[in-house]
Structure 1
Amino acid sequence: MVFRKEKEEAARNQKYFRPSSLLALNLRFSDWTFFDEYYDKSYDQIHLPAQLTKTPEDTVINYFSILREAANLAIRYCGSVGNGNIPYPIAYNFLSKAYQKTMDYKAYLNSFAGVGHINLIKLCKIPDGTQGIRYFYEIEKIISLIEPNEEYFGYSYGFIDLIHENDGYRINKIEQEREDFLCAPYHLWQHDAESVIDVKYGDWCKLIKKRYPAVISGYIKYIYFYGNDGASYFFIFIILTNGTDVEIASFRNDGGGKWKPLKMNPDKDCLIQ
């Protein structure tokens, strides 16, 4: 009994309180000569080679690869860090013209203040297509603080929307949320996919006839249930480094053999105000 409890606690500790062990996905441009031609150019003097934005996935991976060793830090006693500020004007050109109008280059640069390294550790295309070309991503950052003088790993996640513009795909919007490692393990059911489905579609909507055990493949969690209305339901969640499950897509099959994006919102459709 004691050993079993220790194993359960070890699993819980690993899920909620340990950093990621995933390999970085943004490992392109490891040769620093890529940056040579951009060394003294401002963002408005840069034209990206078409091959960098050939596909939506290329755009995202190349964007984060260029930013991997970018560093927007205060003075460091050890000297320069990584590629310094050189990558930022290049990366800014991965944004669509419309997105650049909502965030000028100075604001873009300031958004990386204190960041000395970025690893892209999770990337998943949203399959339903209802919001255009969209990806879910998670990044690991090395963040440097001046006071106190210390560095730590931080994790963020969000969605990236892309559009085709001119000769390639550009980022039209980036959403980013910081991960919470202390509140999530101790409070609320909203961090757990199974609880989210049971509460929202079971307790609130009275829709679940039978929910099947979740299927986990890497950092992706799939949940199915059969509804009281005779339809089948399918949900996709991403498991974050902090153990939280984030829903990225949901589908309904009424028996016709085709899964269609679920348009139901339990928060609005099922709760009695």
Structure 2
Amino acid sequence: MFVRNQKDIAAYHQKYFRPSCLSALNLRFDTWETFSPFYDKTHDQILLPIELTKTPEDTLLNYFSILREAENLGGRSCGSVGQARIPFPLAYNFLSKEYQRKLSYEDYLNSFAGVGHTSLIKLCRLPDIKQGIRFFYEIETIEGFKEKRNEYFGYYYGFIQLIDEKEGYRISDVQQIGKDFLCAPYHGWSHDAESVVEVKYGNWCKLIQKIYPTTKNGYVKNIYFHGNDGADYCIIFFTLTNGTDVEVAQFRKARNGKWKLIKMKPEEECLTEKRRR
């Protein structure tokens, strides 16, 4: 993708260098009323109220609402921040038993080092090829460390898996990816949905016969194309706060006219094969 004129340059910078103005989704609780019953309890003394995990959406919105004012900055000169570390033992109980066996409470707490506030700004359930419960999420954090004596915004996205345990839905895995704000402006095509489809599915896989205009709904982009194999395809992307597009799902229209979730790997199936020739 090439920038050709001043108008394009201005749009390019607006897309990649501006932070999010989205409203936070994790606003479910009055903080003190939520945490007062757990004020002096350790993580293994807490029994999570079942009403917090009735559905997968409830589990995640309540989990991130509890973490909203959780703080692990390591001390600030201005005094206490938010609810300090009080929310962490409660939040840890949203993890499945198996996940807790892999991730100790100490390691869980350390994973929030430097974080003073968390806003959930995107949450969307995704189709899962294994028929599991899978969500995409994006968060905005306020971070800081004692040594730097200043705070800054951080942005992360990723995928969360859940399972249905007897006590409700629990988080069974979290993938979190930190976002950069400099790669996309200077190395554009791999961060732009339309370019990704043209390069990976067109140039690499030679699959595209005809590509259709992108359809957008908020931060969701659907790109449809007709393949050289006679099938129709839909590649779904989510646009992140830094303007980059992340591929989240692929569909192929089956002979019965229904869309079927698939999992193509152009880097492995097409590009690697081309290099071998």
Deviations 1:136-170 (A, max 9, x none): 00000000122221100010000000000122000
Q: Determine the C-alpha separation between the residues in 1 that align with 2:146 and 2:208.
A: 52
- The one-letter amino acid paired with 2:107 is A
Query: 1:108 — aligned with what?
Result: 108
- The one-letter amino acid paired with 2:38 is Y
Residue 8 (structure 1) shift: 2.9
Query: 2:262 — aligned with what?
Result: 262
Query: 1:186 — aligned with what?
Result: 186
- The one-letter amino acid paired with 1:109 is L
Q: Determine the C-alpha separation between the residues in 2 that align with 1:128 and 1:234.
A: 15
* Worse overlay, 124-133 or 145-154: 124-133
* Worse overlay, 50-59 or 196-205: 196-205
Shift of the 88–31 alpha-carbon distance from structure 1 to 2, 3 Å rule, reads closer
Residue 193 (structure 1) shift: 1.1
Deviations 1:197-231 (A, max 9, x none): 11111111111011112111111111000111110
Shift of the 233–36 alpha-carbon distance from structure 1 to 2, 3 Å rule, reads same
Q: Determine the C-alpha separation between the residues in 2 that align with 1:263 and 1:159.
A: 16
Shift of the 217–264 alpha-carbon distance from structure 1 to 2, 3 Å rule, reads same
Q: Determine the C-alpha separation between the residues in 1 that align with 2:79 and 2:31.
A: 20
- The one-letter amino acid paired with 1:142 is I
Q: Determine the C-alpha separation between the residues in 2 that align with 1:104 and 1:242.
A: 32
Query: 1:163 — aligned with what?
Result: 163
Tell me if structure 2 keeps the 8 A contact 1:26–1:62: yes
Aligned with 1:270: secondary structure? helix
Residue 247 (structure 1) shift: 0.9
Q: How many aligned positions are there?
A: 270
Q: Determine the C-alpha separation between the residues in 2 that align with 1:41 and 1:185.
A: 47
Q: Counterparts in 2 of 1:21-40, with a 5 A limit?
A: 21-40=21-40
Question: TM-score, normalising length from structure 1?
Answer: 0.95
Deviations 1:222-245 (A, max 9, x none): 100011111000011110111111
Tell me if structure 1 keeps the 8 A contact 2:158–2:177: yes
Identity %: 64
| Structure 2: runs of 5+ lacking an equivalent | none
Query: 2:248 — aligned with what?
Result: 248
Q: Counterparts in 2 of 1:106-255, with a 5 A limit?
A: 106-130=106-130, 132-255=132-255
After superposition, the CA RMSD in angstroms is 1.4
